[in-house]
Amino acid sequence: MQSRSSPSPLIKEERFTGYAWVIWLVAAVFFAYELFLRLSPTVMVDELMEAFNVHARELGSLSAMYYYAYALMQIPVGILLDRFGPRILLTFASTLVAIGCLVFGTTHQLWVADIGRILMGIGSAFAFVGCLKLSAAWFPASRFAFVVGLTNTLGVLGAVSVAKPMAFMVQNLGWRDVILLMMFIGFGLALLNFLVVRNNPYYQQIASKQPRLPKGHELWTHLKHIVSNKQTWLIALYGGLLVAPIAGFAELWCVPFLMKTYALTKPDAAGLTALIFVGIAVGGPLHGFLSNWIGRRRPIMLAGALGACMSLSTLIYLPELLQPWMIPTSLFLLGFFSVTMLLCFALNSEIHPKEISGTVIAFTNMLVMLGGTLFQPLIGYLLDAHWKTVIKEGAYHYSIHDYQMAFVLLPICQLLGVVLLYFIRETYCHCCDDPTPCKSRK
């Protein structure tokens, strides 16, 4: 039985309509919104430590609650989207994220704030996958890859474009008011998803033909096939090793580090941090194009791991040697090279049969996102281990040396990614059930 979210052979170019773009845009804005919330703690580090009277370790754990929920929800999200369709689930997810903002922005208890971040993570887990489901249903197959790349670019750029204004608002309005503003936006997106989004162009004709949930033994068979392949783990681990520095550095500790090391204001540091994600937005589609053009994945991934390691190491450990123009360049290149981790999704899809590709992608994304769950609190723990008991205006302050010692594991992760590539087999850009390399396909 064909899934409602899969392209129909009976519906071709006529699906490529203006309304398809409207639906895609609503879902893509929700993706940008959840990504923005994921990044928001980086511009309110001092404020959160003061509000909850916590050290870096506790703050890292608070931020990582989002990642725990997001990662663990990936496989259930795929199953639920297949069963109920994106419209009702994106409406529910937007509402849940908004409720998470309400809880997080009004509490004075750390454990309640943890619940708020968990609710944000659960709701956010539906955003990107739900947008892909809608893209597959509403656009011709020939446009699908382009729309996926456009979704990632729009989401990242949309989220980071408001980073500097948000830092300004945090300074002048307070972090709670900013989070509550995000709550209202979340409820607005829930209403927009309900009113605008439709699961597919032919939903009314097949509404009574609900795809069934996979039976327990079928799901177990799929997962067993995936986890029994060592390459699955190695490829996903490469992705996690390259995501860990982005999650641990860019998504939480980058702004305070730049403020301390380069004597920047919070809005300026937030604006520079956004360049990491601009690099991600630019590099994602470009690496995919180059990889397909040369017919190989591993060389691009090798260059990415090495380039990311050089960019991050220079920024952290050689600040006195950097000219002013080199700081934004290093930040951009960190994101540009790190996003080669997206090729791990292509690799894992290519080594497994197409009929389980959705579960493969969900499993890979779950392992990749665990980087954030581990490294945000780990860096906080290392910061506290080197802290010299400096407290200013109720917040804990860390020296440049404290940050440098805490960040030492991040370039090590990138170098471990280089080592892992030695054990990862090249697919030459073709699937296990399609022996023709992608360069040779018509």
pLDDT in tens, 164-205: 787 888 888 889 999 999 999 999 999 999 999 888 776 444
Are 241 and 354 contained in the same domain?
Answer: yes
Are 28 and 158 contained in the same domain?
Answer: yes
Task: Tell me what pLDDT residue 330 has.
Answer: 96
Q: What is the mean pLDDT of the chain?
A: 82
Are 320 and 227 contained in the same domain?
Answer: yes
Structural domain total, the chain: 2
- Confirm whether 8 is domain-assigned: no
Are 194 and 219 contained in the same domain?
Answer: no
CATH number at residue 120: 1.20.1250.20
pLDDT band at 421 (very low <50, low <70, confident <90, very high): very high
Q: What is the mean pLDDT of residues 374-393?
A: 75
- Confirm whether 206 is domain-assigned: no
Select from 165, 199, 233 the last residue of a domain: 199
Are 23 and 93 contained in the same domain?
Answer: yes
Select from 159, 174, 199 the last residue of a domain: 199
- Confirm whether 209 is domain-assigned: no
Select from 134, 166, 199 the last residue of a domain: 199
Q: Are 250 and 42 in contact (CB under 8 A)?
A: yes
302-333 residue pLDDT tens = 999 999 999 999 999 999 888 889 999 999 99
pLDDT at 208 over 70: no
- Confirm whether 64 is domain-assigned: yes
- Confirm whether 10 is domain-assigned: no
Q: What is the mean pLDDT of residues 233-262?
A: 91
pLDDT at 56 over 90: no
pLDDT at 12 over 60: no
Are 65 and 134 contained in the same domain?
Answer: yes
> Where in the sequence is the domain holding 374, given as residue range(s)?
214-442
Q: What is the mean pLDDT of residues 279-298?
A: 86
pLDDT at 439 over 60: no
66-89 residue pLDDT tens = 988 998 898 888 778 777 888 999
Q: Are 350 and 432 in contact (CB under 8 A)?
A: yes
Residue with tokens 């943890």: 114
- Confirm whether 1 is domain-assigned: no
pLDDT at 440 over 50: no
Are 282 and 176 contained in the same domain?
Answer: no
Q: Which of 238, 412, 419 has the alpha carbon at shortest distance from 313?
A: 412
Task: Tell me what pLDDT residue 388 has.
Answer: 65
Task: Tell me what pLDDT residue 215 has.
Answer: 57
Q: What is the mean pLDDT of residues 226-240?
A: 92
Handedness of CA 58, 49, 368, 361 (dihedral sign): positive
Which residues fall within 8 angstroms of residue 308, CB to CB, at 6 or more apart?
Answer: 242, 245, 333, 334, 337, 338, 340, 414
Are 177 and 315 contained in the same domain?
Answer: no
User: How many other CB atoms are there within 10 angstroms of residue 290's CB atom?
Assistant: 16
Are 289 and 392 contained in the same domain?
Answer: yes
- Confirm whether 88 is domain-assigned: yes
Distance CA 99, CA 76 (A): 21
- Confirm whether 319 is domain-assigned: yes
Are 58 and 185 contained in the same domain?
Answer: yes
Are 294 and 372 contained in the same domain?
Answer: yes
Are 233 and 265 contained in the same domain?
Answer: yes
